[in-house]
Structure 1
Amino acid sequence: MKWDWRRAASHASFRIDYRNILAGAVAGLGGAIAIGAMEWFSVAAHYPLFVIPFATSIVLVIGSPEAEPAQPRALIGGHLVTTLVGLAVLKLTGPQAWAAATAVGLSILAMYLTGTFHPPAGINPLLVVSNNLPWSFLLAPVLAGALLLAAFAYVWHRWLRRQSWPRRWL
Structure 2
Amino acid sequence: MRQYLQAYFAKMRGGGKPSPHALNWRNALCSWLGSFVGIAAIAYLNSYSDLTQHDHFFLIGSFGATAVLLFGAPTAPFAQPRHVLGGHLVGAIIGVTLYQLLPEPLWLSTALTVSLSTVAMYLTRTLHPPGGGTALIAIIGSDKVHQLGYGYVLDPVLLGVVILLCIALLVNNLSPLRKYPSYW
Q: TM-score, normalised by structure 2?
A: 0.75
Aligned residues: 153
Structure 2 unmatched runs, 5+: 1-17
Alignment of 1:62-73 (within 5 A): 62-73=71-82
Look up the match of 1:129: 139
Q: Name the CA distance, whole Å, in 2 between partners of 1:41 and 1:151.
A: 15
Q: Does 1:145 align with 2:160?
A: yes
Higher relative contact order (CA 8 A, sep 6+): 2
3-state SS, counterpart of residue 141 of structure 1: helix
The percent of aligned pairs where both chains have the same amino acid is: 31
After alignment, is 55-64 or 25-34 more displaced? Answer: 25-34
Q: Partner of 2:62: helix, strand, or coil?
A: coil
- Whole-Å Cα distance in 2 between the matches of residues 48 and 137 of structure 1? 10
Please give the per-residue CA displacement for 1:79-104, whole angstroms capped at 9, x wherever unaligned.
Answer: 00011110111111125412022101
- Please identify which structure carries the higher helix content: 1
RMSD over equivalenced CA pairs, Å? 2.1
Looking at structure 2, the residues matched to 21 and 165 of structure 1 have their Cα atoms a distance apart, in angstroms, of 18
From 134, 156, 161, the equivalent of 2:171 is 156
CA distance in 2, matches of 1:105, 1:42: 29
Q: How far apart are 1:23 and its partner, in Å?
A: 2.1
Match of 2:42 in 1: 38
Check whether the contact 1:96–1:130 (CA below 8 A) recurs between aligned residues.
no
1:99 matches 2:113: no
1:87/1:167 CA distance change after superposition, 3 Å: same
TM-score by length of 1: 0.81
